[in-house]
């Protein structure tokens, strides 16, 4: 049976976890805002510079050469921007994952403590029921661990695919700008 102190301690821990996760979420948002401001500032400066360069072109051939030269850096910068957004999201997600795993581990420990306490206070002849309960808890823990491993593998695969797609996009941009 839970005591008032245990309930209060659990509520306090939950509130602390909530505020910790909220802080991590705000850190991620701050990083995205900083990234967007820096990207916007750079885009504005580059646009002004490129506009001036285009306006100074003396003939159509020079203008065509300038146009193809402007496309390649654009695709590389877009890919870099996408990578940075992905990295921010991955770090924030990892922090949430760590917190979730810690919470699950703590809940599992507390539940096992309750099961052990119940087993110690169980009446004689209930050993089979206690063993069945412990077996069910162990099976549930194994399922949860398998799900966590699968989620981590899926995240690693998604990251690998994202990086490969980014490289392909940059290469396609380089190829397209060379053909012009």
Q: What is the pLDDT of residue 29?
A: 93
45, with CB counted inside 10 A (0-12, 13-18, 19+), is exposed
CA–CA–CA angle 23, 111, 18 (5° rounding): 10
Asked if residues 99 and 21 have their Cβ atoms less than 8 Å apart, the reply is yes
Domain that holds residue 64: 4-179
Total tally of structural domains belonging to the chain:
1
pLDDT band at 39 (very low <50, low <70, confident <90, very high): very high
9-19 confidence digits (pLDDT tens): 888 888 888 88
Token readout for 11 is 């509520």
Is residue 27 scored above 80 in pLDDT? yes
> Quick one: average pLDDT of 66-89?
82
Q: What is the pLDDT of residue 33?
A: 94
């Amino acid at each position: 049976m839970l005591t008032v102190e245990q309930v209060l301690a659990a509520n306090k821990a939950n509130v602390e976890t909530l505020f910790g996760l909220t802080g991590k979420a705000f850190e991620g948002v701050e990083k995205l805002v900083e990234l967007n401001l820096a990207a916007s500032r750079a885009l504005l400066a580059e646009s002004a510079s490129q506009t001036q360069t285009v306006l100074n072109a003396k003939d159509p051939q020079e203008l065509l050469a300038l146009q193809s030269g402007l496309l390649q850096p654009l695709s590389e910068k877009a890919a870099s921007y996408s990578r940075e957004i992905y990295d921010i999201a991955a770090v924030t997600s990892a922090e949430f994952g760590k917190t979730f795993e810690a919470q699950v581990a703590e809940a599992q420990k507390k539940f096992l403590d309750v099961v052990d306490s119940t087993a110690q206070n169980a009446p004689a002849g209930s050993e089979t029921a206690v063993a069945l309960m412990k077996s069910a808890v162990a099976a549930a823990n194994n399922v949860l661990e398998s799900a966590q491993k699968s989620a981590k593998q899926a995240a690693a695969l998604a990251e690998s695919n994202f990086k490969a797609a980014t490289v392909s996009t940059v290469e396609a941009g380089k190829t397209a700008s060379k053909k012009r």
